[in-house]
Every structure is written in C-alpha cells, then in structure tokens.
C-alpha cells in the first residue's frame, strides 16, 4: 500500500462516526444486505444508518444498489482494504 493511501485511511478513520466501523464489519461478516438487515446486524439505529451509509458511499468504502424497493449495501474493494489496514485509534 502506498503512503498516500495509508494517509487517506488515517484521515478517514478520524472523521467517521463510531457506527461506521460496526456497519463495515457487519457487511464484511455477513456480506451484502439491505438497510433493515444492516441496521439490526450492526446495531445502528435506522435514522443514523442512512447518514453513515451515505458517508461511507461518498468515500468509496460502501456501494449502494437498488433492488426493487430495497437498497442493498455492500463493501467495495477499497472498503475491504480499509478494514484490513485500519490503525488503532
């Protein structure tokens, strides 16, 4: 991993809310899921989840796809890299 990528991850880690880690770990453990399942699995309130998912999506760590009326969330390759390269806070 390049130093620029490591610096990016450190900056991201300090700016994300604590719920973001739970959301990403739930997606890593369980795979893609809709927001209702994700809210229950990650133990994040639904209203907070929407904000967290949009932050993760904007950073390129999570992908959100529409399947019918559901929004399916999944980790991107960058999100997987972020989880494996996290530095302790």
Burial tier of 79 (Cβ tally within 10 Å: 0-12, 13-18, 19+): buried
Question: Who wins on pLDDT, 88 or 80?
Answer: 80
38-45 long-range contacts (CB < 8 A, ≥24 apart) are 38/73, 44/19
**Can you list the alpha helix ranges (DSSP code H) found in the chain?**
3-15, 18-30, 35-42, 46-58, 77-84
Confidence of residue 89 (pLDDT cuts 50, 70, 90): very low
Confidence of residue 1 (pLDDT cuts 50, 70, 90): low
pLDDT at 16: 87
Average pLDDT over residues 5-23: 83
The residue ranges of every structural domain in the chain are 3-84
CATH of domain 3-84: 1.10.10.10
* Per-residue model confidence as pLDDT tens digits over 43-68: 999 989 999 999 999 999 999 999 88
């Amino acid at each position: 991993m390049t130093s620029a990528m490591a610096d990016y991850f450190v900056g991201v880690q300090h700016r994300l809310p604590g719920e973001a880690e739970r959301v990403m770990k739930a997606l890593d453990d369980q795979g893609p899921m809709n927001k209702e399942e994700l809210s229950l699995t990650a133990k994040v309130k639904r209203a907070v989840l929407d904000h967290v998912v949009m932050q993760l999506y904007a950073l390129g760590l999570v992908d959100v796809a529409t399947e019918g009326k559901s929004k399916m969330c999944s980790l991107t390759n960058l999100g997987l890299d972020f989880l494996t390269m996290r530095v302790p806070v």
